[in-house]
Amino acid sequence: MERLSSKVILVVVAVIALLGSGSDAARKLKGSTDVDALRHRYFELENRAWTIVNQIDKVDNQKEDDRRVQRNIILKELIDIYSGFANDDIGPENSYDEDDYYILKRFYEWQLLEQDLINVHKLFDAIRQFMANRNQLPADDADFELASMDITDTVLSDPQFPVNSTLDEIDRIMIRQGMYYKAQLEAKSTICSFGLSAQQVLYQLYNAISITELKGYSMMQFSWMLLKTYGKGNFTTEAKLMRRRFEDRTNRTQSLLQRVMTQASREYWRCDPDHSKHKEGETYVQLTRLLQGYVENEVDMNTDNTCKENCAYYNWGVRQEQCYKDLYCSKQPKCAGKMYSCEYVDSDMWICPAASSSNRRYEFIEYENGMVMGQKKHCTRGTTKVDSWWRWLFWHCSYCFCLCDDSGPKSDRYINMRESVSDVMNNKVVTGLRFIKKNRIIFLIVQEGQLLPRGQIDNTTLQWVEPEAYNILSPYIRAKVDYNVMNYENRAMDLDDIILQPPYVVTGVRFRMLGTHMNLEVRMTEMDFGSGKLIDPDKSIWVGSDKTEHSEDKRTEMKLDKPHIPILSPTKSVPDSEPNQFIKFRESDRGMDAAQTTVPFFDAQPVVPSKQTPLGGAGLFHKGRPKFGGFMAPRVFTYDVGPHVQQPLDQVTDEERRRYLEG
């Protein structure tokens, strides 16, 4: 599998951006969206239906019986066409759903229009039932003719069901009054409540409104056809004028929507659950004992058995060299690694040890000067008094508070570096991401689903790609190849968004080492939007950001200030990082938590939009609140459907056209 260098990526992006800066046509790609294809499908059926209805003009001079026979033949074919369109193409599932318009609920203009939209759907359902009843009546049933005239009168003239004026109002409110722009601004705040990216919300809205318009327009055309078939007039001019107005409205809508979708965010990430619903392994996973607060006397941190320095002297990578006279060092689990950032707080203290099964060493430390590290509470195991002492009146043997970097059995500090990919050879793409933890190793894994035409996903094929549950002690498993080991000098993770240009989609993710930083890469594969097929999947390419702290566009550190345990935050996290930053995993705040917890945590919630879609990018970011450690979290970017909002007139093959015309 190839990897595209950052230089090549920039060239590709620059060329595509140059194309996108020109006319709207430059942004259009092969293949149209489902609703645009449906509209075109209807136009083909409408042309076919009018060709059939116009056959009535050829029997003007025939006997009434002949005209009745011809009319019944035309009615049967006409109703077969429209019944097929209503039941098979649009389908009963495309009825009015208020969730589709959720984003517009707060706007007064929409409240005035909503009931008329509901009435259009109700009327369409009534006509669907009317056509179903037609097959149960004799060919020349008089009641059916009366029912047909009632239908046409309701569709074209009834003030309770103002179909034509409703279409005009949709155009006025959504286009001329800029409701799509208002919806785009409102959609930014819907990630938590709606489970979709802002662009998905806009497309869902466009899809729902377009189907409503198509239902209304098709009912009016059907009514003109019925009237002509029953000899009530010609109505060809009215039908052509209506078609032209409908196409003009559609073109305005598509042009506007493409511009709005360019501005709409495609990112989707998971908001925190309610404070009480956090659960390790489900909503978050964590590294443990990467750097942890540890109390040690300076006499134990040198080989000379002396106390002639101070705590600050032991600042970088010292070890516990001995346990002098089996003092407090013999009463706590030893730091078998290195110690950093030692400081003197006070001579004497009371230490509350954590349970032996806990990842913590201490629950809290209370110093004689009144300072408390951690949250003071009842100490189940009882506190231990720890006192510094003087040696020969000259040297103070102080207890220091240090950070312990010990990769022992209670320290989960491993990040998987193996790829997690979709089965591209079976036309599967990535539809979601999540962090999980297995055998003390943090994995970023993908959800896969089979790609269908026009950016749809076969929901029956959705599954998480479970990683091999290897162990760091297993044979042939290698550090820096299969996994990375975090430590004091190697604990940085880059924060990037890897955004692909259509028609490329995400088919895998993995971590690599970029210097001492863990860096995200994304596998991209080209797709044919119209057919829903991956193109040359064996030629998929890995891409990522090569920027470092030494690049011209320097990567900067996002620092956590005195961070407390993330799940204790009283308010939900918000994104607070920017792409091209990095974050270092560190200890929690000394004052609030005695530096016992490694932060940030990893958000383990599945990042999958509520409507599955191919992904046009993936990234890592940090979310949190001031004074809390927050979460490392994945985010996804839904595929950009904006360039596919178009009439597929030049995309339909001769074979498809014949199939449409043949029904």
- One-letter amino acid for residue 206 of the chain: Y
66-75 long-range CB contacts below 8 Å, 24 or more apart? Answer: 67/231, 68/140, 71/229, 71/230, 71/231, 72/139, 72/140, 74/229, 75/134, 75/139, 75/229
Q: Which two tokens stand for residue 149?
A: 């005239």
Average pLDDT of span 147-171? 91
> When comparing pLDDT for 135 and 149, which is higher?
149
Question: What whole-number percentage of the chain has pLDDT above 70?
Answer: 91
> Lowest-pLDDT range, 6-20, 51-65, 277-291, 394-408?
6-20
Of 399, 428, 618, nearest to 521 (Cα)?
618
Q: Residue 149: what pLDDT?
A: 92
Distance CA 442, CA 425 (A): 27
Task: Name the pLDDT band for 112 (thresholds 50, 70, 90).
Answer: confident
Q: Which two tokens stand for residue 61?
A: 């001079």
Do residues 301 and 642 make contact, with C-beta atoms less than 8 angstroms apart?
A: no
Average model confidence (pLDDT) across the chain = 89
pLDDT tens, 396-444? 999 999 999 999 999 999 999 999 999 999 999 999 999 999 999 999 9
- The pairing of beta strand 541-544 with beta strand 2-3: parallel
CB-based contacts of 353, cutoff 8 Å, min separation 6: 332, 361, 362, 363, 381, 384
Q: Residue 136: what pLDDT?
A: 65
Distance CA 532, CA 521 (A): 24
Of 516, 521, 578, nearest to 549 (Cα)?
516
Of 160, 171, 150, 149, nearest to 217 (Cα)?
171
CB atoms under 10 Å from CB of 546, counted, come to 13
Count of residues in the chain: 663
Question: What whole-number percentage of the chain has pLDDT above 90?
Answer: 73
Task: Name the pLDDT band for 20 (thresholds 50, 70, 90).
Answer: very low
Do residues 597 and 362 make contact, with C-beta atoms less than 8 angstroms apart?
A: no
Q: Which residues pair with 257 in a beta bridge?
A: none
Distance CA 447, CA 264 (A): 24
Of 251, 261, 164, nearest to 215 (Cα)?
164
Distance CA 518, CA 324 (A): 40
> Lowest-pLDDT range, 106-120, 206-220, 316-330?
106-120
> Lowest-pLDDT range, 138-142, 365-369, 589-593?
138-142
Q: Which residues pair with 366 in a beta bridge?
A: 350, 372
Helix axes 64-84 and 108-134, enclosed angle (nearest 10): 130
Average pLDDT of span 277-303? 97
Distance CA 598, CA 405 (A): 11
Do residues 498 and 510 make contact, with C-beta atoms less than 8 angstroms apart?
A: no
Is 103's pLDDT higher than 70? yes
Q: Residue 503: what pLDDT?
A: 94
> Lowest-pLDDT range, 47-51, 204-208, 626-630?
204-208
E strands within 453-566?
456-464, 483-485, 492-495, 497-499, 504-514, 517-528, 533-535, 541-544, 556-557
Q: Residue 61: what pLDDT?
A: 61
Residue holding tokens 């979460």? 631
Is 91's pLDDT higher than 90? no
Is 647's pLDDT higher than 80? no
Average pLDDT of span 220-241? 93
Distance CA 225, CA 233 (A): 10
Do residues 438 and 469 make contact, with C-beta atoms less than 8 angstroms apart?
A: yes
Task: Please tell me the number of Cα atoms within 13 Å of 403 on its side-chain side.
Answer: 22
- Residue 644 CA to its chain's centroid (Å): 20
Average pLDDT of span 486-508? 97
Of 318, 288, 303, nearest to 402 (Cα)?
318
> When comparing pLDDT for 108 and 379, which is higher?
379
Q: Residue 62: what pLDDT?
A: 64
> 415-438: b or e for each residue (b if 16 or more CB lie within 10 Å)?
bbbebbbbebeebbbbbbbbbbbb
- One-letter amino acid for residue 421 of the chain: V
Q: Residue 128: what pLDDT?
A: 92
Query: Which run of H or E residues covers position 175?
Result: none
Is 610's pLDDT higher than 80? yes
CB atoms under 10 Å from CB of 555, counted, come to 22
Distance CA 161, CA 120 (A): 7
Q: Which two tokens stand for residue 171?
A: 């155009």
Residue 105 sits at the vertex; the CA angle it makes with 100 and 108, to the nearest 5 degrees, is 135
> Lowest-pLDDT range, 23-27, 303-307, 313-317?
23-27
Distance CA 511, CA 405 (A): 23
If you write DSSP's letter for every residue of 575-595 in order, what string do you get? Answer: E---TTEEEE-EEPPHHHHTT
Q: Residue 184: what pLDDT?
A: 86
Do residues 494 and 582 make contact, with C-beta atoms less than 8 angstroms apart?
A: yes
Average pLDDT of span 296-319? 93
Do residues 216 and 120 make contact, with C-beta atoms less than 8 angstroms apart?
A: yes
Query: Which run of H or E residues covers position 448?
Result: strand 441-452
Q: Residue 151: what pLDDT?
A: 92
Rg (CA), the chain: 34
**Helices (H), ranges, 54-107:** 64-84
> When comparing pLDDT for 126 and 3, which is higher?
126
Is 201's pLDDT higher than 50? yes
Average pLDDT of span 571-585? 97
Ramachandran quadrant class, 519 (left: phi over 0; alpha: psi -120 to 50; beta: rest): beta
Is 13's pLDDT higher than 50? no
Q: Residue 615: what pLDDT?
A: 98
Helix/strand/coil for 473? coil
Q: Residue 243: what pLDDT?
A: 95
Q: Residue 426: what pLDDT?
A: 98
Task: Name the pLDDT band for 6 (thresholds 50, 70, 90).
Answer: very low
